[in-house]
Chain A
């Protein structure tokens, strides 16, 4: 997509999306919330994993931390402060996990990140039941779905801008070198550790905020609800499906998949799983390089230096 008409088109789309709650019914608004949530999650996931090849299943750890922070603090302090605190906690955990990326790679990191998400869930459960003596928490925040939607939309825009900016900054350049060859990267003076941790932290904070913003929709929050591992898997599948290495890839994966899930579950409640599974298999066979790869092939805009998007080059060498 050329920049000349790309930017006005994106701005126009944004204006339309921002005004959408004024025109559509609650169901479509709910759909838009879900879409904005997953576009943001998938983009944030790709921001780190798509560029470094570290496939993370810790998405729901941060998502859940965000949601739980809101549940715990929503009555104690004003909402913007709650969001800040949530982001802070997410950042703290992310820095700890980020350190793990220095030692682990390939599938070891995948399962490590999954274990981490489960650990967070177990610790929150244990703390709530054994120390606090409660489990579920109620969120009675007084704003409607359109407010949640606007916040998520803003976050999605910020995420995409960040991705775009990082792609062009020194950080992005450093990442490209790291993904190609870590040894070369360290020889030419790139601080690998710092680069990876920064990126992971940015991505994790965004995921935390998605959870925090979305949680008032559920009224009642408990660990089994907010730390549902499905969120991690959905995010991963959407990003990989769209093409994790490119700016619009995760969004192009999240939007059609999300709508597809919705359509399938509404029309085939009894055979949802089977159809979904078959579609996945077909997708893997027909779109080996994700939606972005399809566009690239069709329109011949594929740049020489970009590696096939869905194959996650650089992972586990």
Chain B
């Protein structure tokens, strides 16, 4: 029983972590809180659904098109919508507010387009829905895939950020956007790249989540909020933090469901989130402020 609960929790946490990683990069490096993140995911979910149901192609193969499309989308959104705001804002606080308002608008635009194109109905399809034995526990193959992707993408990004020149530049921008140009880093390009990367991650998240979770054109907000909670709990801009926070939330959800009451799973998630924030006000891996 305990083993089943632990494995279940890790697998669930993998989803949370995967969904949150793109947002933490966008917020940590590009300094924009992207409220349209979940809508980007859902758009990718619709794309995966179409690819699976009308073309009969595996959504995993679909990733090869959808993830780059997410990258291009992020690149365009940053260049057209956010870049002027960044240039205009005098400080981080005003950029934060402007980006909230602008991406809030973007959220409605994407959602509205999806409503017009696809309607408001529940969408769900079956893919890779068979069990695999892991440590004596049967786990859905599609969920294992998510956990696997969370680790691969998390690890890959970690290497990218710590082992490459690009990554070092991105991190420099994250730490101090004002000083980065002094050492020859194009902060604008770095931020744009980071935002686009976040878009690609959102699209990938949307594809894999659609394999086992029912969605509607309006359900993006739920993902944005879950992702935001994971990002904040882990510490803004911190990949390892997002991974840890995601796994902690997944584990606590299944543990509470098994040992306390399924009715309290969501409440437990929020209690743990609020508790951790009060204990560490900048998240698990965040710099200690004040």
Contacts and interface: CB of A to CB of B under 8 A. Distances in A.
Nearest to A114: B225
Contact of B105 (A111, A123, A278): A278
A126 B264 contact: yes
Interface residues of B, number: 53
Contacts of B278: 100, 103-104
Contacts of A288: 88, 98
Given A118-B270, A122-B267, A277 B109 contact: yes
B270 A284 contact: no
Q: Which of A53, A104, A108, A279 has the most CB atoms of chain B within a 10 A radius of its CB? A: A108
A314 interface: yes
B270 A122 contact: yes
Interface stretch (B42-50, B110-118, B143-151): B110-118
Contact of A274 (B112, B225, B270, B290): B112
A256 interface: no
B137 interface: no
Contacts of A316: 92-93, 96
A115 B267 CA distance: 10
Contacts of B228: 111, 114
Contact of A277 (B88, B106, B267): B106
B205 to A, nearest CB: 19
A229 B229 CA distance: 15
Contacts of A55: 97, 100
Interface in A144-168: none
Contacts of B113: 274
A53 B109 contact: no
A115 B105 CA distance: 22
A230 to B, nearest CB: 9
B98 A284 contact: yes
A106 B92 CA distance: 10
From DSSP, what is the main secondary structure of chain B's interface residues? helix
Contacts of B160: none
Given A118-B266, A274-B108, A284-B102, A311 B115 contact: no
Contacts, number: 149
A130 B267 CA distance: 13
A290 to B, nearest CB: 10
Interface stretch (A2-10, A84-92, A265-273): A265-273
A276 interface: yes
Given A119-B271, A281-B106, A312 B112 contact: no
Q: Which of A106, A119, A277 has the most CB atoms of chain B within a 10 A radius of its CB? A: A277
B266 A312 contact: no
B274 A53 contact: no
A285 B101 CA distance: 10
Interface string A163-193: 0000000000000000000000000000000
B96 to A, nearest CB: 7
Interface string A106-122: 11100110111011001
Contacts of A111: 228-229, 231-232
B200 interface: no
Contacts of A276: 105, 108, 112
A233 interface: yes
Given A112-B277, A116-B274, A118-B270, A53 B93 contact: yes
Interface of B: 27, 33, 81, 84-85, 88-94, 96-98, 100-102, 104-113, 115-116, 221, 225, 228-229, 231-232, 236, 261, 263-264, 266-267, 270-271, 273-274, 277-278, 281-283, 289-290
Given A119-B271, A277-B107, A281-B109, 4 more contacts: A55-B97, A106-B96, A240-B101, A281-B81
7 tightest A-B CB contacts, nearest first: A280-B105, A273-B112, A277-B108, A311-B94, A274-B112, A277-B109, A119-B270
